[in-house]
C-alpha cells in the first residue's frame, strides 16, 4: 500500500489543504501525484466545497418552490427543511424521465393534479419516503384512477398509454 499526498490552495478562500490517496503500489501513487499537480484538479477546499453544495441545494429548492407555485401545485406540510426537500423531490419527479408532466395532455395533467391534492400526498413525509420510487408514482396514480372510476362504463386509460410516459414505467 502506497500513500500519495499533495498540498493544494483553495481558489475560493486561499487556504491550503492536503489531499491524500492510497494506491496499491508506489508507481501508481507517484503517477497520481504528477497528474494531480499538473492538472490543478483540486482547487477547492472541503469547506468551500461544502458551502457551494449547500448554496446549490438551496438555489435548486427555491427554483422548485417557485415553479411549483406557478404550476398551482398544492403546498406541503412538514418542517421547513422537510418541505424544501420534498418540494424539490416532487418537482423533479413531475419534470423527470418518468412523468414528463409538461408534455402530458390536459386529461393526464388533470388526473395527476387531482392525485397530488389527496391528503397523504400533500405531506413532505410522503415525498421523502417515496423519493427513490419514481416509476411507482405512476403506478400509484394509475391504481388510484382505476379505483376511482371503476364504476363508470367508459374505458379507463392506463398511465402507461399517456403521451410521453415511459413504456417501462409501470
CA-to-CA distance for 98 and 166, rounded, in angstroms? Answer: 6
Per-residue pLDDT tens, the chain, 170 aa: give them. Answer: 999 999 999 999 999 999 999 999 999 999 999 999 888 889 999 999 999 999 999 999 999 899 888 888 889 999 999 999 999 998 888 887 667 777 777 887 888 888 888 877 889 998 898 888 766 777 777 777 777 777 654 544 454 444 443 433 33
- Residue 14 shares a structural domain with residue 79: no
Range of the domain at 28: 2-44
- Residue 108 shares a structural domain with residue 66: yes
Residue 50 located in a structural domain: no
Do the beta carbons of residue 10 and residue 17 sit within 8 Å?
A: yes
What are the grid coordinates assigned to 158, written together?
Answer: 392506463
- Residue 14 shares a structural domain with residue 71: no
Amino acid at each position: 500500500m502506497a500513500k500519495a499526498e499533495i498540498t493544494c490552495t483553495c481558489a475560493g478562500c486561499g487556504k491550503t489543504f492536503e489531499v491524500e490517496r492510497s494506491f496499491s503500489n508506489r508507481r501508481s501513487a507517484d503517477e497520481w501525484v504528477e497528474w494531480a499537480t499538473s492538472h490543478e484538479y483540486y482547487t477547492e477546499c472541503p469547506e468551500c466545497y461544502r458551502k457551494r453544495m449547500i448554496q446549490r441545494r438551496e438555489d435548486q429548492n427555491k427554483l422548485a418552490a417557485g415553479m411549483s407555485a406557478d404550476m398551482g401545485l398544492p403546498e406541503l406540510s412538514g418542517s421547513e427543511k422537510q418541505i424544501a426537500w420534498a418540494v424539490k423531490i416532487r418537482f423533479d419527479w413531475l419534470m423527470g424521465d418518468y412523468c414528463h408532466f409538461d408534455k402530458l395532455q390536459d386529461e393526464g395533467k388533470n388526473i395527476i393534479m387531482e392525485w397530488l391534492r389527496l391528503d397523504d400526498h400533500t405531506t413532505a413525509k410522503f415525498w421523502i419516503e417515496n423519493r427513490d420510487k419514481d416509476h411507482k408514482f405512476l403506478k400509484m396514480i394509475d391504481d388510484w384512477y382505476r379505483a376511482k372510476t371503476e364504476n363508470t362504463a367508459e374505458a379507463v386509460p392506463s398511465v402507461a398509454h399517456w403521451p410521453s410516459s415511459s413504456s417501462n414505467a409501470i
